[in-house]
Amino acid sequence: MEINEQHHGVERTMRALVQHSHGGPKDQSLTTDQRRPTPGAGEYLIRVGAAGVNFADVMQTRGTYAGGPQAPYVAGFEAAGEIVAVGPEVADALEVGAHVVGAGPGAFAQYMTMPAAEALAVPSGWTDAEALGLVLNWATALAALKPLGEVERGDAVLIHAAAGGVGQAAVRLAHHYGARVIATASPAKHGTVKALGAEAVLDSTRPDLTAEITRLTGGVDLVLESVGRATFQVSLAVTQPFTGRIVVFGAASGNAGLTTHDLVFTHPVQVKGLHIGTLAAAAPSIYGELLAELDTLIAAGVYLPGTPQVHPLSEGPAVLRELEAGRTHGKHALDPWR
């Protein structure tokens, strides 16, 4: 389809948050005259209605996200918004004017490009902000629990960082699938996690964490591990030998190690890695099943419209600093038009 540069009055420059170095969120700043991107083959041009803030954004500001952008770059990678132009070679393109949610480079801006193959329609009746998290948070939580975690009714599931964006989705889903949820989170966030259906919420820094989880469960069937260094030894120690699964999809506190010796002699458990973008590309049939399951969960009212805290674009660096310090609850988003 022909790209009309003037379509919908799309401006040639825009407001955006630019990351200038790999020195962290402090080196990210607002610019008002960033050149608007042009959609390439297979891409939509999106007028961003809301951009999701994720822990991966923090990692990108420090250059620790594998394959992440090199500074300087327009920050952010998750957004929901309106399609204002369609690049060439988009199979089964949605119409200009449709609202989509997904991932692509430079989401902390008024306009971004998004690979059409990874864009999902915003559920009918939902705002852009309410649709954030569909791919990044819910699909990740679902992949960790179901195809990888093989969760069964009655399983004891340990979910770390349970008050976070992925964590809250995971607690709700695990509860929905009939699992017993044991969660960890900072003390100030325990009420939030309890309200989502967790049986017990523990401070991840308590020294007797392994003993307490073992006392409550007799050993867990599944761990959702996204904290890394600070929790991984506990995760290994509380998992049922042989039948227990640990799904690793993040390392918010830093990297943790596991040796072949550990797996043979001290922790004979099943350890599985997960990156949702890689899963979508490398295992499209599993990813397709996840998306179908998300549709079912939306129709059943298990997955409700999200309620992110939406901040003006200029507050992005401050939100990233709070996320990095572990001080946020739930999902945060940026409105590039405020």
Ligand X SMILES: NC(=O)c1ccc[n+]([C@@H]2O[C@H](COP(=O)([O-])OP(=O)(O)OC[C@H]3O[C@@H](n4cnc5c(N)ncnc54)[C@H](OP(=O)(O)O)[C@@H]3O)[C@@H](O)[C@H]2O)c1
Binding site for ligand X (CB under 6 A): 54-56, 136-137, 140, 161, 163-167, 185-186, 189, 204, 226-227, 230, 249-250, 252-253, 274-276, 323, 326, 328
Q: Residue 16: left (phi > 0), alpha (psi -120 to 50), or beta? A: beta
Give residue number: closest CB to ligand X.
164
User: What is the closest distance, in whole angstroms, from the C-beta atom of residue 326 to ligand X in the complex?
Assistant: 4
Structure tokens at 68: 């992440």
Total number of residues shown for the chain: 338
Distance between CA atoms of residues 303 and 252, nearest Å: 25
**Min separation Cβ 278 and ligand X, Å:** 8
CA distance 314 to 325: 19
Specify the pairing of strand 180-184 against strand 200-202: parallel
145 vs 5: CA distance, rounded Å: 43
Token digits of residue 140: 């990740």
Alpha-carbon distance of 260 to 209, in angstroms, equals 25
**Nearest-approach distance from CB 250 to ligand X, in angstroms:** 2
CB within 8 A of 207, min separation 6: which ones?
none
As a whole number of angstroms, the distance between CA 149 and CA 145 comes to 4
The end-to-end CA distance of the chain, in Å, is 31
Q: What is the closest distance, in whole angstroms, from the C-beta atom of residue 8 to ligand X in the complex? A: 31
Residue type at 93?
A
Measure the CA–CA gap between 308 and 147, rounded to whole angstroms. Answer: 27
DSSP 65: S
Whether the CB-CB separation of 17 and 317 falls below 8 Å is answered with yes
* Helix, coil or strand: residue 203: coil
Shortest distance (Å) from residue 63 CB to ligand X: 14
